[in-house]
Amino acid sequence: MNLYSIRIWTSLILLSVGFCMHRMGPSFKRHRWGAPLFFLGAILFVSINRPSELGVSEREVFSSFQSNIMWAITAILSIALLLSGSSNYRPPNYPLLLLGLISGFFSCYLALMGLMESSIVEIFQASLT
């Protein structure tokens, strides 16, 4: 296992540990080390500049991350806009809700375009296994 493979697994572990630590605690007082660990893992993952030197399984993880990052970021943005525009604690903000819906549809469009690169037969066979 080379240095780049260790780096990608370390970054994935830091991402998951940071996310889990951020979710611990009461809702308005989260664990203070969660977000820094998550962002450290994200920086380590994004700063990999030679994916050709990764091992086979690490290269597959990295390429799937690269192919899915745009629609995932758009989906997260859509969720954040929809939650901040909803009427939980204040009156609804309809422009934010509209922006959230538009970005949600755009995220679905990006995800479907990524799936269409594979043939429909491959997708059907993968769903049956």
User: Domain extents for the chain?
Assistant: 1-54, 55-129
Measured in Å, how far apart are the chain's first and last C-alpha atoms? 30
Tokens 């991350």 correspond to 65
Q: What is the pLDDT along the chain (129 residues), one digit of tens a residue?
A: 788 788 889 999 999 999 898 877 776 777 788 889 999 999 998 888 887 778 888 888 888 888 888 899 999 999 999 999 988 778 999 999 999 999 999 999 888 887 776 666 676 777 776
The pLDDT, as a whole number, for residue 75 is 95
**Which pTM value belongs to this model?**
0.68
The pLDDT, as a whole number, for residue 103 is 96
The pLDDT, as a whole number, for residue 120 is 64
The pLDDT, as a whole number, for residue 94 is 94
The pLDDT, as a whole number, for residue 118 is 64
